[in-house]
Amino acid sequence: MRLLPLVAAVALSLGAAAHVHADDAPPHKRVAVRAAHLVDVKAGTVRDNPLVIIEDERITEVRYDGQVPTGVEVIDLGSATLLPGLIDCHVHLTGDPTEVKGDYYEAVLKRSSIDSAILSPIYAKRTLDAGFTTVRNLGASDYVDVALRDAINRGDIPGPRMLVSGPPLGATGGHADDTTGFSPWIEFHGIDGVADGVDAIRHRVRENVKHGADVIKFMASAGVLSAEASVGAPQYSQEEMNAVVDEAHRWGKKVASHAHGAEAIKMAIRAGVDSVEHSSMIDDEGLKLAKQHGTYLDFDVYNDDYILAEYAKKGFPASTVEKEKLVGRLQRENFQKAVKAGEKMAFGTDAGVYPHGWNAKQFAVMTKWGMTPMQALQAATVNAADLLGMTGKVGAVAPGYYADLVAVNGDPMKDVAQLEHVTFVMKGGAVDKNEIKR
């Protein structure tokens, strides 16, 4: 009872402080971005003379009458073409091949997640500067990606809006097992996603959710950048894949499956995954299954060029390069089949396999193998937003969306390679980069 007067006094003080704070709150910041053209990815058209009105971090209006509301600051981009902020659905911001300077084993054996944590803000900034304002980070040990996402969200460091998976799940001896190929007397310490059997898999999913994962990733098949002999054989049973998806969806998390091989792809689709990453050896039955289930296919069709040109020089094992030779061309041919079949396709590059900031190099490959420039751009905007569950927030320039905008000097619908030279980037109403030539 003696504390009641003190409690009342504190409450009155806090109330007064809140009232003063409300009265002194800064006014909403209103900005208008003007350009010569706007790519309307929802409608699949290009419109002239857009004016995008922004209040704080959201778009409030898009108009074409040239009338600027009073009291609004104008950012005039001149003859530039304006687009929504780009989305990459498959990146690894906690690593980069430039770290490997001719000695693959030095990078593997002498570096840790501490190195990753120190370097990842550099890669995040490069990605944002390249016009990718939203990414899905699919795989990082020790939850470094969770810490990176949180630091960006707090405003501590610049970077794209991130959805993260934490450590990817995989079988012992498989693509997620860092000890594969090494002596059994060599130990790697840290948090990984190795889990075998239904119960262990469910526990691992719950651990990732507990520690901040937005999405669950698992290795349905073998891979290129790991030591197992196969590149595409299934590494989980159907029952195990079913358990990953069931448990993740129970916790409201979408599931991305790494899968190169045709059988592993079909098993993952039957399990109910939201997206198949790589999709390299998908067959006609797999394409039909993906369409029936509404599964997104993400083909990382650029990085074959980089791996074949650079990995041998960097000292990567010869088996890695040989496995890439097995899937590179075939993946592009199957990408072309998927486009013709009208599959649901999103933009995912596996950035981190090649240098961060080069994400947009994939657009030219996508158009070479069957997509129109508009389709390729839609894969990296409206389609990607749908896959990530972020429709209405990112992926378009429209009222209510985050003010995530990029611009290029040329016309990306005539030359999609223009997207490799983004000169203006805005994320959430804040300008990250402005190099527009006037």
pLDDT digits (tens, 9 = 90+) for 310-335: 989 888 888 889 989 999 999 999 99
Q: Dump pLDDT digits (tens) for 143-177.
A: 999 999 999 999 999 999 999 999 999 999 888 76
177 and 294 both lie in a single domain: yes
| pLDDT for residue 35 | 97
Of 91-105, 245-259, 271-285, 339-353, the one with minimum mean pLDDT is 91-105
Boundary (domain end) residue, out of 359, 374, 405: 359
62 band by pLDDT with thresholds 50, 70 and 90? very high
pLDDT at 173: 86
State the pLDDT at residue 320: 87
d(CA 134, CA 383): 13
- Closest C-alpha to 253, from 261, 262, 240, 244: 244
**Unique residue bearing structure tokens 């944590």:** 117
Print the domain residue range for 352: 86-359
User: Above 50 in pLDDT, residue 7?
Assistant: no
| Residue whose C-alpha is closest to residue 255's, from 301, 210, 303, 219 | 219
**Angle at the Cα of 348 (from 48 to 325), degrees rounded to 5?**
125
Domain count for the chain, please give it: 2
Residue 126 placed within a domain: yes
- State which of 329, 359, 389 marks the end of a domain: 359
> Are 290 and 416 found together in one domain?
no
Instruction: Report yes or no on 188 lying in a domain.
Output: yes
* Range list of H helices, 312-416: 318-341, 361-368, 373-379, 382-388
Q: Within this chain, do residues 68 and 169 fall inside the same structural domain, yes or no? A: no
Residue 76 and residue 95 in one domain: no
